[in-house]
């Protein structure tokens, strides 16, 4: 599948594992976004029966934010799974944010 255009607020799921993510921030150009090696699915799209790429089974964690090295994009993992999140073949990692004291 070719790259596609995403926008903030879109909910996506993996075709090959339990991972679900929500788009927080993306660049204007289309992205080749995959989870566990298979293109991420939007809404009620169904997968093509592919299985997880063992080389991309590093897992995702609920509640973590994922971003590329340049922080041009950000996704929230709303449900963790087995697959690694990649964009254009590059793994995107957990955003390291300074822990803030609770203020509520």
Q: What is the b/e burial string over 60-76, where b = at least 16 CB atoms within 10 angstroms of the residue's CB?
A: beeebbbbbeeeebbbb
Which residues bind to other proteins, rule: CB under 8 A?
A: 8-9, 11, 22, 24, 62-65, 76, 78-79, 97-104
Q: How far is the CB of 99 from other proteins (least distance, A)?
A: 6
**At closest approach, how far in Å is the CB of 49 from other proteins?**
26
Nearer to other proteins, 20 or 84 (CB): 20
Residue-wise DSSP of 28-59: SS-B-EEETTEEPEETT----S----GGG---
- Which is nearer to other proteins, 48 or 71 (by Cβ)? 71
CB nearer other proteins, residue 2 or residue 102: 102
């Amino acid at each position: 599948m070719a790259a596609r255009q995403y926008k903030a607020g879109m909910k996506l799921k993996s075709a090959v594992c339990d991972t679900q993510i929500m788009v927080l921030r993306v660049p204007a150009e289309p992205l080749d976004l995959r989870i566990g090696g298979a293109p991420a699915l939007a809404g009620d799209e169904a997968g093509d029966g592919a299985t997880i790429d063992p080389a991309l089974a590093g897992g995702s964690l609920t509640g973590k934010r994922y971003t590329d090295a340049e922080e041009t994009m950000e996704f929230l993992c709303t449900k963790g799974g087995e697959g690694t999140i990649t964009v254009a073949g590059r793994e995107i990692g957990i955003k390291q944010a300074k822990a803030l004291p609770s203020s509520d």
